[in-house]
Amino acid sequence: MKIEQIYTGCLAQGAYYIESKGEVAIIDPLREVKPYIDRATKDNATIKYIFETHFHADFVSGHVTLAKETGATIIYGPTANPSFDAYIAKDNEAFKLGDITIIALHTPGHTMESTTYLLRDENGKDHAIFSGDTLFLGDVGRPDLAQKAADMTQEQLAGLLYDSLRSKIMPLADDVIVYPAHGAGSACGKNMMKETVDTLGNQKQMNYALRANMTQDEFIKEVTDGLQAPPKYFPLNVKMNKEGYDDIDVVLKRGTQALSPDAFEAAANETEAIILDVRHQNDFVKGHIPRSIFIGIDGGFAPWVGALIADVKQPILLVTPKGREEETVTRLSRVGFDNTLGYLEGGFESWKAASKDYDTLSSISAETFKDALENDTVPVFDVRKEGEFISAHVKDAHLTPLDFLNDYLSEFPENETFYLYCAGGYRSVIAASILKSRGIHNLIDVAGGFGAIKKAGIPVTDYVCPSTLK
């Protein structure tokens, strides 16, 4: 028996490759399926099953394409109703894979079809669970994503999740290994551990949601407390996972068309495409195509695209670092953004060489920012998350989280120069690019963010642990 966790940091997502006696199961595969097929070929094995723990909201699974390429059977848990061919497992139904057995445990709560897969080894011993978004390390799946589809409140779904955990998962032995679908950084939970594998026994000790003496009312209150609104692209990804999508090869062919500066400009004018610049923020600051949006490929790229662009059907034109065009299109497709129309051939340098208009972003060092604060009272905006802001922030700064920047547009001064900062400089440049695309140009970015601000000795509020304020 072989179990491999294939973890993708940008999405904080874990897919799983399981092999026994030449038969393979893939759990929650990513959109690009070639690595799974290549791995099975290397093992001289056949992909037999594709297990889906639920209809994912934060990424587009590769299940439809993988089944088409391999003939493997897609399996969902009870109550799932996909638009494509799939096998709907009964609760406690067993699936043989070589010498091992995988049991479908229906665990509704995160969504109604949510299913945990229990792996029993060749001796029939419970070995591991693949818990999807039902159980994370240190947390559980948020119960508010499926409430509209299920015609239930988040409190009712949380009640189901409580029952699922206590009737299906907590009775399992402490040495059972937990393989979740996500880790720290995912928007599918609130406070996950940085580790990606653990034992169930340790989770019973560490995870607040698995307290043995916890009542259902206590569970519902704690699980639903402090939930932020989910990213707007989530329901669109659910729809794609449920109804199907274009093969990744089709998306790549369309998205990796090289466009000359003239062709790129014409496409932008004709299609109303967003120009997405994925270079490093320092490069964007020095020069970029007017009204382009910056979301750097080397940051939390795909989730930020999903949260800020939101509409997966939005046409997109790319400005990328040389050689990273296909990677960018692939990573966009992971969160359902399939309508990439091409990229600027030769990158931003070719745009400048063609004598096209370009813009720059005002950015200053933390030391210069310190001088500005000492000489005058200036408007300062913090685009980090609320918890980061509560912990410590520049005195008198306003909180305008990047996740919900559109809700705060009216708070930015129309004529007065204002300053933006985040933790390290990535998110503030994203925010600045969005504001500039909306015609707001009276802004200055603080390079290096809050880390540089503290190092420069700029006065900040006393540290507060956000959890103490709940």
DSSP state string for 189-253: SSS--S-S-EEHHHHHHH-GGG-TT--HHHHHHHHHTTPPPPPTTHHHHHHHHHH----HHHHHH
CA 18/CA 36 separation, integer angstroms: 10
SS3 content of the chain, % helix, strand, coil (to 5): 35, 20, 45
Identical topology for domains 246-353 and 363-469: yes
Superfamily of domain 363-469: Rhodanese-like domain (3.40.250.10)
The pLDDT, as a whole number, for residue 437 is: 95
Count of other CB atoms within 10 angstroms of residue 451: 14
- Measure CA 307 to chain center: 9
Number of H-type helices and E-type strands within the chain? 17, 22
Token pair in block for residue 115: 């299913």
- Measure CA 376 to chain center: 40
One pLDDT digit (tens) per residue for the chain, 470 residues: 999 999 988 888 999 999 999 999 999 999 999 999 999 999 999 999 999 999 999 999 999 999 999 999 999 999 999 999 999 999 999 999 999 999 999 999 999 999 999 999 999 999 999 999 999 999 999 998 875 556 789 999 999 999 999 999 999 999 999 999 999 888 888 779 999 999 999 999 999 999 999 999 999 999 999 888 888 899 999 999 999 999 999 999 999 999 999 999 999 999 999 999 999 999 999 999 999 999 999 988 998 999 999 899 999 999 999 999 999 999 999 999 999 999 999 999 999 999 999 999 999 999 999 999 998 889 999 999 998 999 999 999 999 999 999 889 999 998 899 999 999 999 999 999 999 999 999 999 999 999 999 999 999 999 887 655 54
The total number of residues written for the chain in this structure: 470
* H helix runs in 131-170, sequence order: 147-150, 154-164
**Considering the domain 2-235 in this protein, what is its CATH number?**
3.60.15.10
Token pair in block for residue 316: 């997109």
Superfamily of domain 246-353: Rhodanese-like domain (3.40.250.10)
Beta strand 274-277 pairing with 363-364: unpaired
Q: Does the CA dihedral 118-196-296-324 come out positive or negative?
A: negative
Token pair in block for residue 226: 């402090």
First to last CA, the chain: 45
CA 325/CA 337 separation, integer angstroms: 14
Per domain, the residue ranges of the chain are 2-235, 246-353, 363-469
Q: Does the CA dihedral 39-101-97-132 come out positive or negative?
A: negative
* H helix runs in 246-339, sequence order: 248-255, 261-271, 281-286, 301-308, 325-333
**H/E run at residue 178:** strand 177-180
The pLDDT, as a whole number, for residue 352 is: 97
Residues 6+ apart with CB under 8 A from 104: 51, 75, 77, 78, 89, 90, 91, 92, 93, 94, 95, 115, 117
